[in-house]
Structure 1
Amino acid sequence: MVRLPKLTAAEYMLRDRAIRAFNKPLTLREALEALRPLLLELVPADSMGLCLMHDNRSPGFEWLVPGHPLLILKRYAELIEHDPFRAPIFARPNWVVRDSQLMSRKTFKGSIIYQRSLEWEPRLEHIMAVLLPIRPGFFAALALYRHRPRAFSAENAAILGSLTEHLADAIRKYCDLQDLDTRANVLDELCRRTNAAFLVVEPPHHEVQRTPNAVGLLEQWFAPSDLHSSGMPLPLKEQLDALMRMTPDERLGKDSWVRIHGDRFRKVQFMELSAPEGPPRWALKMEEIPRSIPLPEEMKRKLRPSEVVVARGVLSNWTDHQIAGELGRSHHTVKTHVKKIFAKLGVDHRADFLYQAAHLNTP
């Protein structure tokens, strides 16, 4: 559950608008442009940037900077080895870090990052950043900047921290819909994808489109008695109805429908699409995932040996109690291991872990 900071009614409304602006897939760049004025007012800050990267060992990265460009981020490759935030945020993902926590003001002003900002303007007087695990081995670092000497406070960090789950969840969805430019293109592209199963609906229950793969899965998954009069499966319609009634915080972790059938999971991911006018449409992404999945080597490298055996139990669809009994450990120990595993791999829950492992095992 998201820990909400102490906010005024106006700040809560602004926070809600920021979350909703970022959760309606256009492109990631357009979403950042929509988020920028709201987030910079809420925190507040003067500028922001989002860095997409793979892991701490890889130099590869891409900065997305809404609003006015920041020259220092365009030339970040020259500074990456001198970035004092890189190691701390990788050491503690989802934890908001401020420059005043890392070093004294004198040390910060002597840093290469600060000195270069004086040359390349605007100067970066204060920085606050957080690392968001998106997929195993793939991260997004969000950085906020102040161009005048007024340090970010603990309250500012708490506000940003309350948004991190929303931002990571939204970025994952943008990755699922990457390279799609507009809502119209989204719908056209979904129908062209031969390896994906999407159902696009306009609430409350008007079906807009379905891909050929979706036709097959819907026929396999649902009997005629499971269908609403519109043709949409009742379980999916009920979950969509519930999602539309929820606040952004309530939606976290509830935008997937997962059922076990034989040796496979049936999963539906609900994604709200932006609409220039009229009600928003929703894309329902459907897929089947094996219940027992090998632990990918990429994930294994991030875990301790004791965590590897627990992770394999989770991928075998064992409960924490079953894993504890099989390994001769306490339920509390296993539960703690599972929590640490999910944090290290950047997954939200068991279904997400299974999905990511299955994706990495796909040739």
Structure 2
Amino acid sequence: MNLNADELMLRDRAITALNSSLSLPQALEAVRPHLLELAQADSMALCLMEVTHSLHFQWLVPGHRIPILDEYAGLADHDFLRPPIFARPQTVIRDSELLSRKEYERTLIYQRSRELEPRMEHIMAVLLPIRPGSFGALALYRNRPRAYSGQNAAVLASLTAHLVNTVRNCSDVQDVTTSAHLLEELYRRPDTAFLVVEPPHHEVLRSPHAAVLLERWFTPSELHSSGLPLPLQERLDALVRMAPDARLDKNLWVSLYADGYRTVRFIELPAPEGPRQWALLMHEIPISIPLPAEMKRKLTPREVTIAACLLRNWTNEQIAGELELSLHTVKTHVRNLLAKLGVDGRADLFYQAARLNKPV
């Protein structure tokens, strides 16, 4: 490949543009004028593809919209360039290498582009492997009937490694950003509780709900000097010393209390380098089925209390003793609340409450 001074300067600008942003749409917009001038093309587009059981794709089009790409889902099976670029990743393929001019003009891609404008008189494309099962396909289009030359293809080929790095880096940053947003959302949810700990005793992160649960579950005398409760610290110390296979049935701590089960699952987080951290996921699992709000609205406060006791599978005698009521009063409340809720008995109450808590 022989480039003159102007072309070398354009190529350097294209490489700089590809590294100018960790947002893929912004990087493509920045490189577009330099790449189009270098390859003497009129437009460009990048197709991001995930190849699993089927092909999923997304087009990124810097600059002016290319109408035919809006219809690509219906044209994908007629894309004559896709099999060749998949057969030869990182190799620039030109339409003129595959088809004669008459054959090209008979393709559905070309015919449809004539109807939609602008015409795709010539196409040059290269497949960019990003990671296993994930690819980018960069396509350059000409609106005039002059075939791409070998020099045009060589210029694009000289930038392929930079294109791969840009797409991969931007994709990785997008994945990290999405994960960070998810973690932030989980961190603030009132029903999610977790700790992140770096053994042996350094606490990295504690969600607000985890702080609430720890205060409710453990007394100050049960806390390790690190602030982590002694039972959890002891379990973590033991897991760290174990081989991975030995941890399989020991990474869940469970404690039974009057109101339900308290569980903590210990998960070792991956770390390519540096110390491994552990996530401690905390949950409360009530023994009883919660009384649905729809049922609560139909009952008096006292009936709500007794209905909750029924859903804990307490007997009338247990309810009377707990609430300091006579057995006759409890029976009367039970009869009335079952009638108000329109259920046939205790078994039906359990069924209806479970159905309303988790609709089918």
Instruction: Name the structure, 1 or 2, with higher relative contact order (CA <8 Å, separation 6+).
Output: 1
TM-score by length of 1: 0.49
After TM superposition, the score normalised by the length of structure 2 is: 0.50
